[in-house]
Amino acid sequence: MPGKGLLERLENGGSVLVAEGYLWEFERRGYIQQGAHVPEVVLEHPELVKVMHEEFVHAGTDVCEAFTYYGNREKLRFIGREDDLEKLNRMALKMAREVADKTGTLMAGGICNTGVYQPDQPETHDKVRAMYKEQVEWAVDEGADYMIAETIDSLGEAKLALETIQQYGKGMPAVLTLACYIPDETTDEVPIVEACRTLEELGAAVVGLNCGRGPKTMLPLLREIRKACKGPIAALPVTYRTREDCRTFMSLKDPDTGKYAYPINLASCLCSREEIREFAEEAKAIGVNYIGLCCGNAPNYFRELAEVYGRTPEACRYRPNMSFNYIFGDTEKTEQYDAKKLRQYMVTGKE
């Protein structure tokens, strides 16, 4: 029996968990270059992409999103690999489909901001449409369950993405997630909440935010989006400690050096797992039902999200249990190892 689709899963207060942030994680692992950010790993080490899908399913994702982020014509052309465009897209889609079929999860195709779009230059709109069209058609061909259009920062380009999915997506639902940066508006200066509502009215199945902001600076917007929109709303923050005076991860500074942390020193601003859990709890209370994490995501974060949303993925078997630890665990156990002295050396220093 075929599994439930996106819309069925979201019915009656259901939720869908979506692991993203593949690009950031592959960069961390040494397989993608910071800068162009093209998912060349799909071509060079496809087996690793498949494993990452499996790792995130293990940690609780309901969706394997084909790793086509920045795998569009313009980005491939920029690094001199335009000839590999279709191959990259089809390989990414096939691998996501394969893992999704094996694990009973959904497979999503993905398109994103192109870098080409200029609101007042109609010729760029045609170029963007053509780029989206080919990626949507490949996703249809390879059996995607739905399309994600993500990290788009202007309402104009988001509309083009939605129109293209509606025109060429053979009825696939469209999830539109905008990247909101420092002002609470799109880069074509539409209030972000209004932009979400507009995309919902135009037929997007799910609208919301991803990337750009971390948990603390995304939550206030989510409350407003929840009030303004009728259908499911999405939240996929980055896993960095953004705050009111540094709303985006691009604006964070290393607490030790005071220098901008983006892009290579962001580890100095990572969220704790507890912060991710608290974010998930708040998002759930607000009524966010399409939830995930973007740049900085890792399975240990994702498991927190999954647990808050009532899942017990396999990774839960390995959630921390320090009671078993011979230094920090239950007193009864630690006494037999004379752990008190070790704890002093490790934590408090000698008395």
Q: List residues binding Zn ion (CB under 5 A).
A: 211, 294-295
Distances (CA, A) of 118 to 26, 278, 318, 346: 30, 38, 48, 56
Q: How far is the CB of 288 from Zn ion (least distance, A)?
A: 17
Q: Is 211 annotated as a binding residue?
A: yes
Q: How far is the CB of 21 from Zn ion (least distance, A)?
A: 6
Q: Which residue number, 57 or 211, has a Cβ lying nearer to Zn ion?
A: 211
Side chain identity at residue 157, one-letter code: E
Q: Which residue number, 144 or 211, has a Cβ lying nearer to Zn ion?
A: 211
Q: Which residue number, 21 or 169, has a Cβ lying nearer to Zn ion?
A: 21
Q: How far is the CB of 113 from Zn ion (least distance, A)?
A: 11
Is there a contact between 239 and 296 (Cβ–Cβ < 8 Å)?
Answer: yes
Q: What angle do CA 236, 78, 211 make, to 5 degrees?
A: 10
Q: Which residue number, 93 or 294, has a Cβ lying nearer to Zn ion?
A: 294
Determine the Cα–Cα distance for residues 186 and 243; give it in Å rounded to an integer: 19
Determine the Cα–Cα distance for residues 178 and 207; give it in Å rounded to an integer: 8
Q: How far is the CB of 8 from Zn ion (least distance, A)?
A: 27
Q: Tokens 């075929």 label which residue? A: 2
Determine the Cα–Cα distance for residues 316 and 138; give it in Å rounded to an integer: 35
Q: Which residue number, 140 or 250, has a Cβ lying nearer to Zn ion?
A: 250
Q: Which residue number, 165 or 294, has a Cβ lying nearer to Zn ion?
A: 294
Determine the Cα–Cα distance for residues 14 and 74; give it in Å rounded to an integer: 37
Q: Is 295 annotated as a binding residue?
A: yes
Determine the Cα–Cα distance for residues 25 and 211; give it in Å rounded to an integer: 14
Q: In whole angstroms, how large is the CA radius of gyration of the chain?
A: 21
Distances (CA, A) of 189 to 125, 195, 221, 233: 18, 10, 16, 21
Q: How far is the CB of 162 from Zn ion (least distance, A)?
A: 20
Q: How far is the CB of 23 from Zn ion (least distance, A)?
A: 7
List the structure tokens of 186: 């799109």
Q: How far is the CB of 236 from Zn ion (least distance, A)?
A: 8
Q: How far is the CB of 161 from Zn ion (least distance, A)?
A: 17
Q: Which residue number, 91 or 211, has a Cβ lying nearer to Zn ion?
A: 211
Q: Is 180 annotated as a binding residue?
A: no
275 φ, ψ (degrees, to nearest 5):
-65, -40
Q: Which residue number, 177 or 198, has a Cβ lying nearer to Zn ion?
A: 177
Residues placed in the known binding site: 211, 294-295
Residues placed in the known binding site for Zn(2+): 211, 294-295
